[in-house]
Structure 1
Amino acid sequence: MNREQISMIAHTDHPIKSPLADDSVGRLLEHGLPRGDERVLDLGCGTAEWLLRALTTRPHLHAEGVDVSAVALTQARQAAKRLGVDDRLVLHHQEAADFVPSQQFDLVISVGATHAFDGLLPTLAAAREHLAPGGRVLIGESFWDRTPSPAALEMFGDLDDLATTVDRVVAAGWTPVHGHVSSRSELDAYEWACWGSLASWALDHPADPARAQVLETANAQRSQWLHGYRDSFGFLCLVLRRTSD
């Protein structure tokens, strides 16, 4: 079973692929979409969960998503059709960094996908190119909540702390108009959901050739979380406007 298939199973019970509760997602969208008739772009949309939630609650919204995963985009199209919002959603199968839109957008989303642009500030630079005057960016990024262990550093690299992360964003010409730091409850719920879904799948498919691999992955990832990064990892979402538009 490849990495993408494992990720799909892991996020069965947590389709927002970030440590955010549903009410936190809703509040972030409210601050990112104050009118309700905006044009929205998600760079690295995956199964387009952010876009689907925005579209189902805002009948005048139009959205586009970009992702490299054909499997994820197929799932997104099926969900959009099931929800009756497929006529307002356009999906592009390509690298987010190579996307050249035909229009500008009122909200650009990139939550948990800054790796597609090699980091937080390059992601914001790319978002700026797609943003209409007065538009907003909703971005999600990891940070170190406290000094990480060597194992955590090896897994996630040289992240900044919360204050430094926000300072870098401001220095790059952005002003936060809303923010959300994931709580311990949100962080734990996400990890338990991911590795629990994998373990459940393995136990429910005893004859599947991939059972041992999936169960081993669930156990290894849960152990890395509990012994490696649980006490130091944090996640921040910001709604941003350009300081000088």
Structure 2
Amino acid sequence: MDRQTISALAHGDHPIAAPLSDDSVGRLLERALPHGEARLLDLGCGSGEWLLRALAGRPELRADGVDLAAAALDRARAAAEWDGIGDRLTLHHQDATEFTASGPYDLVLSVGAAHVWGGLLPTLRTARSHLAPGGSVLVGDGFWEREPDRATLDAGFAPDEYADLPTTVDRITADGWRPVYGHVSTPEEWDDYEWSWTGTLTRWALDHLDDPGHDDALEAAAAHREAWLRGYRGTLGFVTLVLRRAGDT
């Protein structure tokens, strides 16, 4: 079973692919969404949950989502049609690093996808290339809550993969961005996300004993649970920021 399929199954009960509660997602969108007619772009949109929630009840908004996971885009497309917003959501099955658009966007989102560009600052540089003057970026990425120990590194992380929160924000502001809102995921949000990820995948495997992917799903859930509980739990944090460019009008 490939990684995209495993991820799609694991996020079935937690469609926001990050440690964020529904209330936190709602607050972040409230702070980030522009007023009036506007265009949104989600780079690494997955099943499109951020865009679906943004478009709901806001007929003046239009959005594009970009992702390589065809199955996730199919779910986003079906959900948009069901919600009656399919005519305002365009989905692109392609590498987000290669996406080109016909015009700028008023809000660019990329939450939990910074690894695609090799880090947070390269992600922001890409976001800026799509951003209209005066627009905002909604970005989410990891940081170290504390110095990573051997157990965290053995879970698959590099010591310099992240910095602490103050250093992370310093790097962002030094790159010309200004935070206008932010949210640091709580331990409860992390636990809910990780139990959902591992539990949903495990339940799928137990309900599909005859599926060829059954063993792969159980192994992936167990490995992820072990890495979380004995590795990065309490060490890896997650921050989601609403950013604007200093001096942009």
TM-score, normalisation: structure 1: 0.97
Task: Tell me the number of residue pairs that the alignment of Structure 1 and Structure 2 aligns.
Answer: 245
Shift of 1:98: 1.1
**Alignment pair present for 1:59 and 2:62:** no
Q: 1:24: how far off?
A: 0.4
Which residue of 2 is the match for residue 206 of structure 1?
Answer: 209
Counterpart-to-counterpart distance in 2, 1:31 and 1:168: 22
Q: Which of the residues 193, 198, 222 maps onto 2:225?
A: 222
Mapped to 1, the partners of 2:135 and 2:175 lie a distance apart of 16
Instruction: Give 1:25's aligned residue.
Output: 25
Aligned AA for 1:138?
L
What residue number does 2:94 align with? 94
Residue of structure 2 in register with 1:109 after alignment: 109
Bigger Cα displacement from structure 2, 154-163 vs 7-16: 154-163
Alignment pair present for 1:156 and 2:161? no
Q: State the Cα distance separating 1:156 from its structure 2 match.
A: 2.8
Q: Which runs of 4+ in 1 moved over 4 A?
A: none
Structure 2: segments with no counterpart, 5+ residues: none
User: Which residue type is aligned with residue 30 of structure 2?
Assistant: E
Q: Equivalent residue for 1:83?
A: 83
* Distance in structure 1 (CA, Å) of the matches to 2:36 and 2:25: 15
TM-superposed deviation, 1:224: 1.0
1:126 aligns to 2:126 (yes or no)? yes
Any conservation in 2 of the 1:37–1:58 contact (CA below 8 Å)?
A: no
Distance 1:74 1:10 in 2: 16
Q: 1:116 to 1:36 in 2, by over 3 A?
A: farther
Distance 1:44 1:209 in 2: 28
Hey, what's the Cα distance between the residues in 1 that align with 2:195 and 2:57?
A: 28
Measure, in 1, the Cα distance between the counterparts of 2:140 and 2:246. 19
The residue identity in structure 2 corresponding to 1:162 is L
Q: Distance in 2 between matches of 1:179 and 1:57?
A: 24
Contact conserved, 2:34 with 2:106, CA < 8 A, in 1? no
Paired position in structure 2 for 1:177: 180
Q: Pairwise mapping of residues 225-236 of structure 1 onto structure 2 (< 5 A)?
A: 225-236=228-239
Percent identity, please.
59
1: distance between equivalents of 2:30 and 2:119?
A: 25
Distance 1:210 1:108 in 2: 35
Instruction: Tell me the equivalent position of 1:186.
Output: 189
SS at match of 2:56: helix
Deviation at 1:186, TM superposition (A): 0.3
Residues 203-212 or 226-235, more deviating: 203-212
Judge which range, 211-220 or 60-69, deviates more. Answer: 211-220
In 1, the alpha carbon distance for the partners of 2:21 and 2:193 equals 9
> What's the counterpart of residue 15 of structure 2?
15
Instruction: Tell me the distance in 1 between the aligned counterparts of 2:244 and 2:50.
Output: 19
Moved more, 127-136 or 68-77: 68-77
Q: Unaligned 5+ residue runs, structure 1? A: none
TM-score, length-normalised on structure 2? Answer: 0.95
